[in-house]
Amino acid sequence: MSRHPEVLWAQRSDKVYLTVALPDAKNVSVKCEPQGLFSFSAMGAHGELFDFCLELYGTIIPEGCKTNVGLRNIICSIQKEQKNWWKRLLKSDEKPAPYIKVDWNKWCDEDDESAESDLASDDDLAEGMDGDESSDEDGMLYLPDLEKARGI
């Protein structure tokens, strides 16, 4: 029986970014199909199988999809067929599965995209994933510093 890893997503007008939180993943397999089907599978650190399949909101260009496997997570850059903003990640308008969440660290609104042109290029994405260079905060929620909150 397989499990679902946590998946964080963000978008730009031309791409969707999926960050799969799966430390020390092995045998990572990603498939992108033109009609918007995205499939992922990998083995976890203890040999457990993780997989999921998403029917994305719009069509994609499989040749423009890139995957970068890091020590703590797997980042997938998925190229949209048409440059536009999707209303949501999935084709279905039902509430997404609980393991799919918005990646607020990478999120960009339509209005902000032109100002953010230098933010998350695929080259920057690859550089941040080399070796153990990624910080412990990658993919983590920001929690307030408890000592600051207490006034210490």
Pick the CATH number of 7-94 from 3.10.110.10, 1.10.1370.40, 2.60.40.1180, 2.60.40.790: 2.60.40.790
Q: What is the mean pLDDT of residues 21-46?
A: 97
Provide the residue type at 57 as one letter.
Answer: Y
Contacts 24+ apart (CB under 8 A), 31-40: 32/60, 32/62, 32/65, 32/78, 33/60, 33/62, 34/59, 34/60, 34/61, 34/62, 34/81, 35/59, 36/60, 36/91, 38/76, 38/78, 40/74, 40/76
Distance, CA of 81 to CA of 60 (rounded, Å): 5
Distance, CA of 61 to CA of 79 (rounded, Å): 6
pLDDT computed for residue 150 by the predictor: 55
Confidence of residue 111 (pLDDT cuts 50, 70, 90): confident
Q: 75-97, pLDDT tens digit by residue?
A: 999 999 999 999 999 999 999 99
pLDDT computed for residue 148 by the predictor: 53
Q: In the structure encoding, which two tokens stand for residue 126, read together?
A: 């690859």
Q: What is the mean pLDDT of residues 132-137?
A: 43
Distance, CA of 33 to CA of 45 (rounded, Å): 28
Confidence of residue 117 (pLDDT cuts 50, 70, 90): low
Q: Where are the domains of the chain?
A: 7-94
pTM, rounded to two decimals: 0.74
Unique residue bearing structure tokens 């209005």: 111
Distance, CA of 80 to CA of 62 (rounded, Å): 9
